[in-house]
Structure 1
Amino acid sequence: MGRTGLSAEEERFIESMGLFFERQGVPRIGGRILGLLLLADEPLALGEIARLLRVSPASVSTNIRQLQTSGTVDPASIPGDRRHYYVFNSAGWDHRLEVAISAMDALGQMCQDALAVPRLSKRDKLREAVEFCAFYREELAGAVERWRARFARRPGTQATKTPSPSARQRRSGTR
């Protein structure tokens, strides 16, 4: 990714991320931001994200807040620079699994509560839903443990990386 723009390959990847996440219920721009941050070697300022994606800073700001809430994007700072920077948070993968576990817990509990109502207590579909939620939760919990063990074995992995000011200065050509 160059300072002046994106290569055709990078643009294709970013657009495919936008479409993928749009199918998952995330606004397309949110997926595009994630794609860009996955490719970025350094934190990107809100304005740089908007310029590279050719969208408004307001749209980036709105979507960045949602991505921060989802745990996939973290704020970063560059010493001496007051702009807001952002990085992809690799720990966001854990968060996505944990959100799915919480969703299964909530759905299972709703169905369990419904089974406690005498008129609904014999509904086989509700029992099946409770069983499915318990099964899926156990599978996801195992997936979280396996992912964490796998990710921890990778050398140099961490949730966020912030370059030294000298690296940032070299990139922008200032000293």
Structure 2
Amino acid sequence: MTQQDRRRIAAGLADGLSYAEIARRLDRPTSTISREIGRNGGPSGYRPQQAHQATAQRARRGTPAPPRAAVPAEGTREAEGAREESAREAEVIEMAVRAGLPRMTARVHLDLLLSEEGRRTAAELARRLKVSPASVSVAVNYLVDQGYVRRERDPRRRRDIYVVDDDAWYHSIMIGSRQTLEAARSSIEAAQAAGLDRPVGRRMARAGAFLERVSLDMMESADRWRSLLA
């Protein structure tokens, strides 16, 4: 991969492009782009000049970058499966980012979702994602606040364990709906203060009534269908 290729990767990340789109523009496999970014700082820390220098140094030493896991031999069914899995994960993260989730938060959430037990410690997340503990802390705090993840305490080792389970979907919907409901009622109060006989008051009242009804419907629906998560 040339230095120009790496500059184009960095530009694509800055523009919010998916790994698959960057790969298409460079006419390379998505797995190549995912591997290049993953071993050189990740999506938020990728720097083309440093990546190029690090690759040159590894080539001179004759040793590859430390792999995250055992890499299947190229051309095998296992290798193809690994590439497809990597591409799917990258696409899921990109969709979450486009929906408004911070990239690091999306990576942490996906790693928890894909864990066999649905739980990891902060140290495990930092090691697996190759990021700082501080980055993990910011991400999991957001996820906990929004109900996507819950925090458990390990009393024996005095550490937090972050857990994602089926009930998390219920709690995240309820938290989001309550926040929308608060905004709706604030809008209604502001409309009354502005005066319902004025255009701005009527506009805010309509918006508040709409958001209030939608949020209440969401909460009612979540309660009605919660049994599906049992």
The alignment's TM-score, normalised by the length of structure 1, stands at 0.68
Q: 1:9 to 1:33 in 2, by over 3 A?
A: farther
Partner residue in 2 for 1:70? 146
In the alignment, the residues of structure 2 paired with residue 120 and residue 143 of structure 1 have an alpha-carbon distance, to the nearest angstrom, of: 31
Q: Does 1:5 align with 2:92?
A: no
Q: 1:110 to 1:52 in 2, by over 3 A?
A: same
Q: 1:16 to 1:83 in 2, by over 3 A?
A: farther
Query: Does the 8 Å contact 1:17/1:34 carry over to 2?
Result: no
Q: How does 1:33-44 map to 2 (within 5 A)?
A: 33-42=108-117, 43-44=119-120
Q: How does 1:127-146 map to 2 (within 5 A)?
A: 127-146=205-224
The alpha-carbon deviation at position 33 of structure 1 amounts to 0.9
In the alignment, the residues of structure 2 paired with residue 139 and residue 18 of structure 1 have an alpha-carbon distance, to the nearest angstrom, of: 29
Partner residue in 1 for 2:102? 27
The alpha-carbon deviation at position 10 of structure 1 amounts to 4.3
What SS does structure 2 have at the residue aligned with 1:75? strand
What SS does structure 1 have at the residue aligned with 2:209? helix
The alpha-carbon deviation at position 128 of structure 1 amounts to 1.9
Q: 1:34 to 1:13 in 2, by over 3 A?
A: farther
The alpha-carbon deviation at position 29 of structure 1 amounts to 1.0
Quote the RMSD (CA, aligned, Å): 2.8
Letter in 2 for 1:50: A
Q: How does 1:1-175 map to 2 (within 5 A)?
A: 5=69, 7-42=82-117, 43-76=119-152, 81-117=157-193, 119-123=195-199, 124-152=202-230
Partner residue in 2 for 1:168? none
> Which structure has greater helix proportion?
2
In the alignment, the residues of structure 1 paired with residue 158 and residue 190 of structure 2 have an alpha-carbon distance, to the nearest angstrom, of: 52
Letter in 2 for 1:15: A
Query: Does the 8 Å contact 2:184/2:208 carry over to 1?
Result: yes
The alpha-carbon deviation at position 83 of structure 1 amounts to 4.8
After superposition, the C-alpha distances for 1:14-73 in whole angstroms (9 at most, x for unaligned) are 333332232233211111111111110133232322222222222112212221222222
Query: Does the 8 Å contact 2:150/2:168 carry over to 1?
Result: no
What SS does structure 2 have at the residue aligned with 1:116? helix
Identity value in percent: 27
In the alignment, the residues of structure 2 paired with residue 16 and residue 10 of structure 1 have an alpha-carbon distance, to the nearest angstrom, of: 10
Query: Does the 8 Å contact 1:17/1:32 carry over to 2?
Result: no
Unaligned runs of 5+ in 1: 153-175
- Greater relative contact order, per chain length (Cα 8 Å cut-off, separation 6+): 1
Unaligned runs of 5+ in 2: 1-67, 71-81
Q: 1:95 to 1:114 in 2, by over 3 A?
A: same
Q: 1:145 to 1:63 in 2, by over 3 A?
A: same
In the alignment, the residues of structure 2 paired with residue 78 and residue 129 of structure 1 have an alpha-carbon distance, to the nearest angstrom, of: 45
